[in-house]
Amino acid sequence: MKNTMLQHFEKTFGDTDGVRVFFAPGRVNLIGEHTDYNGGHVFPCALTIGTYAAVRLRKDRNLRFFSVNLNKKGVIHSSLDELIHINEDDWANYPKGVLWAFAQHSFLVDQGMDIVYYGNIPNASGLSSSASIEVLTGYILMKLFDFDLDFKKLSLICQYAENKFNGVNCGIMDQFACAMGKKNHAIFLDTSNLKYEYAPIDLGDAKLVIACSNKKRGLGDSKYNERRSQCEEALARLKTVVDVQSLGDLTEEEFEVHKGVIEDEVLIKRAKHAVYENQRTIRAVAALKNHELETFGSLMNESHTSLQYDYEVTGMELDTLVETAWKQEGVIGARMTGAGFGGCTVNIVKNDAIHAFIENVGKVYEEKIGYKADFYVVEIGDGPVEL
Q: Could you list the active site residues? A: 174
For 35, which DSSP code? -
**Burial of 373 from C-beta contacts in 10 A (0-12 / 13-18 / 19+):** buried
Residue 132: CA atoms inside 13 Å, Cβ hemisphere, count? 30
Query: Which SS3 state, helix, strand or coil, does residue 115 take?
Result: strand
- CB-based contact 46:177 (threshold 8 Å): yes
Across 265-289, b (16+ Cβ under 10 Å) vs e yields: eebbbbbbbbbbbbbbbbbbbebbe
- E strand or H helix at 119, and its extent? strand 113-119
| Cα–Cα distance, 227 to 218 (Å, whole number) | 15
Query: How far is residue 5 from each of residues 12, 86, 327, 364, measured CA to CA in Å?
Result: 11, 27, 42, 37
* Whether the Cβ atoms of residue 63 and residue 99 lie closer than 8 Å to each other: yes
The closest alpha carbon to 151, from 170, 168, 131, belongs to 131
The rounded distance, in Å, linking the Cα atoms of 176 and 154 is 8
Distance CA 255, CA 238 (A): 9
**CA distances (Å), origin 202, targets 175, 287, 323:** 24, 12, 25
246 by Cβ neighbours in 10 Å (0-12 / 13-18 / 19+) ranks as buried
